Amino acid sequence: MTIKENRWANAYADFVLSFRWPIIILLLIASIVGAIFIPDMDVRNDPDTLLPETNRYVATNLYAEKNFGMGNLMVFALKVKEGDIWQPWFINKIQDIHNKLEALPHSRPANFIDIAAQKIKYMGTDENGLVFKRLIPTEGISDDPEIAKEQLAFLREGVKTNPVMAPMLVSMWDKDGNRCAYEDYDKDSCIAKAAYVIADYTDDVKEMYLPWVREVRSMMDEYAQDERIELLVAGEPYFLAWMLADLVDHWWLFAISIAIVIAVLWLEFRDWRGAAFPLIGVGMTIAMTLGLMGFTAFKLTTMMVLTPMLLLAIGIGHSVQVTRRFLLEHGQRGDCMQAAREAIRHTIVPATLSIVTDMVGFATLASVDISFYKDYAYFGVFGMLTLLLTTTTLIPLLLTVFPPSQESCKTMESHGWETGVGGFLTRLISGPGKWVPIGVVLLVFVGSTYYTNLMNWKGIPEDGVKLAVEGDYMPGVEKGINYARAAFKGNSPTWKDLVQLNEIMPGVISVSIPIRGKVENLPGCIDDYFPESIYDVEDRTEKLQLCQKYKTEMSCWDSEACGPQGVFNDVELHTDMEKMETWMRNHEFIGYTGSYTQYVRLVNMLLTAEPGEPTKLSDLAVPNKDYLLAINPDDDRSPNEIVQMYNGLLEAMTSAGDMDSFVNTETWNEGVILGFINTMDPVETHQVTMDIQQYIEDHKNDPGFAKVNFGLRNADKSGDTNALATDGPEYVRPGIGGFLGATEATREVAMDNWLLSPMQTALAIFIIAALMFRSVLVSGLLTVTLLITLFAQYGLGGYFTAVENWSGNLAFHLLVTLSIAMGLGVDYGIYMVSRLREEMLATGGNWMTALRNTQNTTGSAVIVSIVVLLGSFIPLVGTTLANTWGLAVYIGSALFIDVFTALMLLPLMVYLFKPKYVFGNH
């Protein structure tokens, strides 16, 4: 490079050396201020804050959680090892767990589902009508054997005769070891072997995950000591909170990572300054970045641990380059100020180029409407920007304050491994061995093409047309998510508990289908009531017509004259809901379902039975016209009036809040169908989502469903009345809620961004590099290496999909690695191209000498950077967390390929295409 071409680099070096002490002091103050705000970081794992609220599934999930709860469910399952659960000690243990879970902060006691819960009662009849009683006394099963026997018999009968809730209270097994079907819970051949406590918590628990989950784990440890039972725990709040605790508990892995970095730096430089100053500089960047996270109060996830790890790895890479240059210059000149000037002057240009492209890799993530993508973008850009000051600038300044001896610096030229590796790489790509990097790239392409099923390379699947419409040109790469495996590795106890729980409990993740009446309730008539003559009308059809007439004229509703409002007072809706739940229970991937309709059916079964006679399961039905006429062809009762009577009885006999998780008892115009899905396989969860939506589509014009809207289509209810609510090219199917809805939302987001986001990154890097190098050809060569890396990552995702390792499939939380790895990977290429240019100028155009010198210096520094990178990723792969493991695997493998292409393929392409930026006039 000529002096003229580096005018700004020379000026920068002179400036920072002139003001070295103010710069050092300012960076120290900024680091201390950042460290002060680190404790204010808000780290949580909340799917509701990760995904865009405008997504129909996210909006539906938030709506269901706000109006009905049941969005933060945790399950404690106790399985008895011998006998059945109808034993005093076991029932009392269940009640004790219930009480402790209810006492945890931010619990919703009214939504708890277990035999000790307030809302779960014995439902029967006596000579006075319906009887609702608690299943077990508040003080627990008595110590008196005779009293205990009566209490247990009552409890057992209450569970067996309540087919609505029984599957969510206990797990029944037959003599052959098979789980009893829903309709067989009342049979004596089914033995109760396990019981559950399903606890619900508000969103406020997310703000105190760490202390909250510590209490939960303490309970688990206490009850697990009882050798008579097997304890299994799962659920969204427990999973998400334990991810944070697991990361905190493995703090020592970060210490190991730092120790490895120190060891590598010591072996490289054999000087305490070379080991300490890079860590000091990178430590300042990390402190300032984490401090900014705390100061801004962003809601972060455990995956944000990648940011300081990347800053460490990439910062050390830049540190090695500038430290090596300083020590080499000092060994030759013996003047630390001049060595610092040369080190800054020669490294600031490639450092700026590489850091700017790193920032581009992060910045493009901000265009994606996912909160932690934006977090990566904002804090990644900030952290990378500070590296210019804390590494390329600060380290030479510190070396002028604490200068090494000239003799010790001369040993930098005698690293045998560097000249050996540099000579080997030079000979390899300069002779017949040049086909090695080409062959490796071809193997990467062939393997990735196979595993990605690129353009249906294996053959068009049955739903190939659908995939093409979605733009899934790599159907071999699953974009859906298995949230549990995305959270924890397959060998973790937390995941194993969930697998066992799925074998016991009918469903492990929730689905909620909100249902809202299309007609809003009118205010009650206060001053002017409907005419009294309406009471004299006996014909139901005529009376209904008059009610609608007065309703239109007076814009109010007289419930005394015309009955209560709300679509849940309509028997046709309950009939359609009954049919839908029957279909759902028969679906291979759906276990238990529940809704307010189930209570209507149960009351009908209880009241239909003659006093003193047992109830019949055939009467567990909605009292619609078909049901009534099948029993008595002359029955002329109004099904709607029967349903309204049942609603009144249930409202009177239950406690406040008991029904709120299924229906809004204030308006009777909105409710929810709650179900549990017995699979977490991303392919199967997508299928069941599509099946539920298709059922709604097939039956949306049925008599009852024609009166309601399902879910949401956007962030609010406006989708109910605009063009989206009708069939046509712009029609959008309504979303569903629950964890199944969150799962499908992640797939939709991934489908929107799996190709677009990294392509935007590649384009941005191409433009930035072309402007910086003033060479489209050099920029193109760098972009080629990045696209090779990108396709290899897609291939890796396809491989994990092929082996069904759902901790590694390319779901939305791992797609972020594509852009980040591309931005970071171009660093090595920039340093190599810049050094090749410098050496070509210094050697008068001698390619072989320039290449060998570049490989000996910059190339070896790149190798050192990779070793540091591996050490930095130890905390990410050493915990039981699958999401951080996935981040490390994808970025680590990508940077391995980047190093390979930078050291072997890129110099080969530079020699073949001879860009003027490097070769000039030679």
In this predicted model, what pLDDT tens digit does every residue of 58-87 receive, in sequence order?
999 989 988 888 778 888 999 999 989 999
Which pLDDT score, from 0 to 100, does residue 469 have? 44
3-state helix, strand, coil in the chain (%, to 5): 65, 10, 25
Confidence of residue 640 (pLDDT cuts 50, 70, 90): very high
Most confident of 297-301, 518-522, 577-581, 852-856: 577-581
Which pLDDT score, from 0 to 100, does residue 412 have? 56
A 10 A CB-CB count for 855 gives 29
- With beta carbons less than 8 A apart as the criterion, state whether 650 and 569 touch: no
Note the pTM of the prediction, 2 decimals: 0.86
Measured between alpha carbons, how far is 385 from 425 in angstroms, rounded to an integer?
32
What type of residue sits at position 39? Answer: P
Calculate mean pLDDT across residues 563-592: 94
- With beta carbons less than 8 A apart as the criterion, state whether 598 and 164 touch: yes
Which pair of structure tokens corresponds to residue 281?
Answer: 């500089």
- With beta carbons less than 8 A apart as the criterion, state whether 324 and 75 touch: no
Measured between alpha carbons, how far is 198 from 219 in angstroms, rounded to an integer?
15
Measured between alpha carbons, how far is 315 from 868 in angstroms, rounded to an integer?
10
pLDDT in tens, 842-878: 898 999 999 999 988 888 878 877 787 778 888 888 8
Which pLDDT score, from 0 to 100, does residue 2 have? 37
Which pLDDT score, from 0 to 100, does residue 694 have? 94
Which pLDDT score, from 0 to 100, does residue 48 have? 67
In terms of Cβ atoms closer than 10 Å to its own Cβ (0-12, 13-18, 19+), residue 512 is buried
Which pair of structure tokens corresponds to residue 691?
Answer: 């099946």
Which pair of structure tokens corresponds to residue 274?
Answer: 């070379």
Share of the chain above pLDDT 90, in %: 44
**Angle 491-497-500 from CA coordinates, rounded to 5°:** 110
Q: Is pLDDT at 128 greater than 80 in this prediction?
A: no
- With beta carbons less than 8 A apart as the criterion, state whether 56 and 732 touch: yes
Measured between alpha carbons, how far is 233 from 238 in angstroms, rounded to an integer?
8
Measured between alpha carbons, how far is 700 from 706 in angstroms, rounded to an integer?
6
Q: Is pLDDT at 783 greater than 60 in this prediction?
A: yes
What mean pLDDT is reported for the chain?
87
Q: SS3 letters for 756-783?
A: HHHHHHHHHHHHHHHHHHCCHHHHHHHH
CA distances from 752 to 364, 370, 457, 748 (A): 15, 11, 22, 6
Rounded (10°) CA dihedral 270, 275, 278, 284? -170
Main-chain dihedrals φ then ψ at residue 554, nearest 5 degrees: -105, -10
Measured between alpha carbons, how far is 627 from 617 in angstroms, rounded to an integer?
13
Calculate mean pLDDT across residues 722-731: 74
Give the residue among 421, 354, 342, 434 at the shortest CA–CA distance from 387: 354
Confidence of residue 365 (pLDDT cuts 50, 70, 90): confident
Q: Reduce the DSSP state of residue 140 to 3 states and report it.
A: coil
Give the N- to C-terminal CA distance of the chain in Å, as an integer.
Answer: 14
A 10 A CB-CB count for 616 gives 10
Which pLDDT score, from 0 to 100, does residue 275 have? 87
Which pair of structure tokens corresponds to residue 519?
Answer: 């007609």
Which pLDDT score, from 0 to 100, does residue 3 have? 34
Which pLDDT score, from 0 to 100, does residue 737 have? 92
Confidence of residue 589 (pLDDT cuts 50, 70, 90): very high
Calculate mean pLDDT across residues 619-643: 93
CA distances from 638 to 521, 567, 761 (A): 22, 16, 65
Which pLDDT score, from 0 to 100, does residue 464 have? 44
Q: Is pLDDT at 4 greater than 60 in this prediction?
A: no
Measured between alpha carbons, how far is 648 from 644 in angstroms, rounded to an integer?
6
Residue 724 backbone class (left: φ over 0; alpha: ψ -120 to 50; beta: rest): alpha
Confidence of residue 628 (pLDDT cuts 50, 70, 90): very high
Which pLDDT score, from 0 to 100, does residue 671 have? 96
Calculate mean pLDDT across residues 93-116: 93
- With beta carbons less than 8 A apart as the criterion, state whether 104 and 212 touch: yes
Measured between alpha carbons, how far is 756 from 761 in angstroms, rounded to an integer?
9
Q: Is pLDDT at 672 greater than 80 in this prediction?
A: yes
CA quadruple 115, 239, 713, 555: dihedral sign = positive
Confidence of residue 470 (pLDDT cuts 50, 70, 90): low
Confidence of residue 466 (pLDDT cuts 50, 70, 90): very low
Most confident of 528-532, 538-542, 627-631: 627-631
Q: Is pLDDT at 482 greater than 80 in this prediction?
A: yes
Q: Is pLDDT at 416 greater than 80 in this prediction?
A: no
Measured between alpha carbons, how far is 789 from 794 in angstroms, rounded to an integer?
9
Q: Is pLDDT at 38 greater than 90 in this prediction?
A: yes
pLDDT in tens, 48-59: 677 888 899 999
455: Cα separation from own chain's centroid: 28
- With beta carbons less than 8 A apart as the criterion, state whether 595 and 577 touch: yes
- With beta carbons less than 8 A apart as the criterion, state whether 483 and 51 touch: no
A 10 A CB-CB count for 119 gives 19
Calculate mean pLDDT across residues 501-518: 86
199: Cα separation from own chain's centroid: 22
Q: Spell 318-329 as b/e; 16+ CB within 10 A means b.
A: bbbbbbbbbbbb
Which pLDDT score, from 0 to 100, does residue 408 have? 64
Q: In what order do the strands lie in the sheet with 191-200?
A: 170-173, 191-200, 73-80, 229-235
Q: Is pLDDT at 356 greater than 90 in this prediction?
A: no
Please, what's the largest Cα pairwise distance for the chain?
113
Which pair of structure tokens corresponds to residue 87?
Answer: 């034993």
Which pLDDT score, from 0 to 100, does residue 588 have? 92
Measured between alpha carbons, how far is 460 from 823 in angstroms, rounded to an integer?
34
Calculate mean pLDDT across residues 733-761: 90
285: Cα separation from own chain's centroid: 27
Share of the chain above pLDDT 70, in %: 95
**Angle 329-333-337 from CA coordinates, rounded to 5°:** 75
Calculate mean pLDDT across residues 284-310: 90
Place of tokens 């290449």: 851
Main-chain dihedrals φ then ψ at residue 786, nearest 5 degrees: -70, -40
Confidence of residue 119 (pLDDT cuts 50, 70, 90): confident
- With beta carbons less than 8 A apart as the criterion, state whether 573 and 709 touch: no
Q: Reduce the DSSP state of residue 512 to 3 states and report it.
A: strand
Calculate mean pLDDT across residues 910-918: 93
Give the residue among 893, 727, 741 at the shortest CA–CA distance from 825: 893
